[in-house]
């Protein structure tokens, strides 16, 4: 990024006008304007004053481009340029889709038990469900490991050019509408699917597997949407509301148990009501707890290797 854009962004982040900055540097407003538009360049004495004023190193100010994130040792903040921001957004959107897909697969795997429950090969439902869950868990592990470098970034305070910040704020405003629609649509989908189960049960006169299948399908779709927009919202909050995001992250740490335990409960209830496997079924809980703990420790170790 050019010096002029850097100076303009730093000035606006401080809430300074060109006149105010010019007064601090003992130059004319026209000089500051020329610096920001690239028509002129300050002498070394003024660069030193700018460095002290904004607590930015000369190395950062004088380089025309920065390929990597720049860390300011004085402010303990990390500067991220436009290309780094785009790279982060692209990854987080892909990350959200993969995590959402894996969780949706786990939910949908319950349908395999339902569909095989009325056949002579009912055991195939359990086998198929476990295979799908194993695939989904492996996908979650690989996806979380690929997120290690960005997980480290999300623990740091950041800053960026004024133009990038303004563009992200506009994107976040547009995303908020999408976020609200997705949440509302997901909740309505679940409510309608429950109503359909009740309706089908009343029409048929008994519990319908078809009704349960469509209910689980709707839940999977809704959870998929919730996870995607939830991760994207977190992404924008990190970029746009960085200080608040970091403070909240320090106060609460997300755990995989928030995902694995509800899913384990749903699977336990499914095989309990369908196959009456209440007694061996309880083994799912300690198994899920051990697997979750192992995954979290593995991810934590990998994350620490980046620190």
What confidence tens digit (pLDDT) does each residue in 5-29 have? 788 878 887 788 889 888 888 899 8
* Nearest Cα to Cα of residue 105 among 206, 185, 1, 217: 217
Average pLDDT over residues 245-263: 67
The answer to whether residues 64 and 44 touch, using CB atoms and an 8 Å cutoff, is no
pLDDT category of residue 58 using cuts at 50, 70 and 90: confident
Which CA distances in Å does 285 have to 262, 278, 290, 291? 10, 12, 9, 10
| pLDDT at residue 161, as a whole number | 72
Mean of pLDDT over the chain: 78
| pLDDT at residue 280, as a whole number | 62
Cα(17)–Cα(33) distance, integer angstroms: 10
The answer to whether residues 115 and 173 touch, using CB atoms and an 8 Å cutoff, is no
The answer to whether residues 16 and 40 touch, using CB atoms and an 8 Å cutoff, is no
| pLDDT at residue 285, as a whole number | 75
Least confidently predicted of 67-71, 127-131, 140-144, 257-261: 67-71
In this prediction the pTM is: 0.66
pLDDT tens figures, 170-207: 999 999 989 999 989 988 988 888 788 777 767 765 55
List domains and CATH numbers for the chain: 3-65 (1.10.260.40), 82-306 (no CATH)
The answer to whether residues 9 and 162 touch, using CB atoms and an 8 Å cutoff, is yes
* Nearest Cα to Cα of residue 192 among 215, 212, 210: 215
Taking each helix axis from N to C end, the angle separating 162-204 and 209-240, rounded to the nearest 10 degrees, works out to 170
Residue 159's SS3 state is strand
| pLDDT at residue 296, as a whole number | 65
B/e letters for 286-298, b = 16+ CB within 10 Å, e = fewer, are eebeebbeebeee
| pLDDT at residue 228, as a whole number | 93
């Amino acid at each position: 990024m050019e010096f002029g854009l850097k100076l303009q962004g730093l000035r606006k982040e401080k809430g300074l006008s060109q006149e105010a900055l010019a007064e601090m540097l003992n130059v004319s407003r026209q000089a500051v304007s020329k610096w920001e538009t690239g028509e002129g360049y300050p002498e070394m004495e003024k660069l030193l004053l700018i460095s002290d004023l904004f607590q930015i190193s000369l190395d950062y100010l004088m380089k025309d481009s920065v390929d990597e994130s720049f860390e300011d040792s004085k402010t303990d903040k990390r500067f991220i340029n436009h290309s780094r921001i785009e790279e982060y957004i692209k990854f987080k959107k892909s990350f959200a889709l993969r995590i959402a897909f894996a969780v949706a697969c786990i939910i949908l795997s319950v349908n395999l038990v339902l569909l095989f429950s009325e056949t002579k090969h009912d055991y195939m439902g359990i086998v198929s469900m476990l295979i799908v869950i194993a695939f989904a868990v492996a996908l979650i592990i690989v996806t979380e490991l690929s997120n290690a470098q960005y997980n480290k970034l999300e623990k740091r305070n950041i800053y960026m050019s004024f133009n990038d910040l303004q563009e992200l704020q506009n994107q976040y405003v547009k995303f908020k509408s999408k976020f609200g629609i997705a949440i509302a649509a997901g909740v309505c989908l679940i409510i309608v699917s429950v109503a359909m189960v009740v309706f089908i049960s009343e029409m048929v006169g008994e519990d319908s597997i078809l009704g349960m299948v469509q209910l689980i399908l709707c839940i999977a779709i809704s959870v998929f949407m919730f996870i995607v927009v939830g991760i994207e919202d977190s992404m924008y909050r990190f970029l746009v509301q960085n200080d608040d995001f970091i403070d909240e992250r320090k106060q609460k740490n997300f755990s995989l148990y928030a995902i694995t335990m509800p899913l384990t409960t749903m699977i336990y209830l499914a095989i309990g009501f369908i196959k009456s496997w209440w007694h061996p079924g309880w083994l799912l809980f300690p198994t899920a707890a051990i697997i979750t703990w192992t995954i979290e420790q593995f991810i934590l170790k990998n994350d620490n290797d980046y620190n």
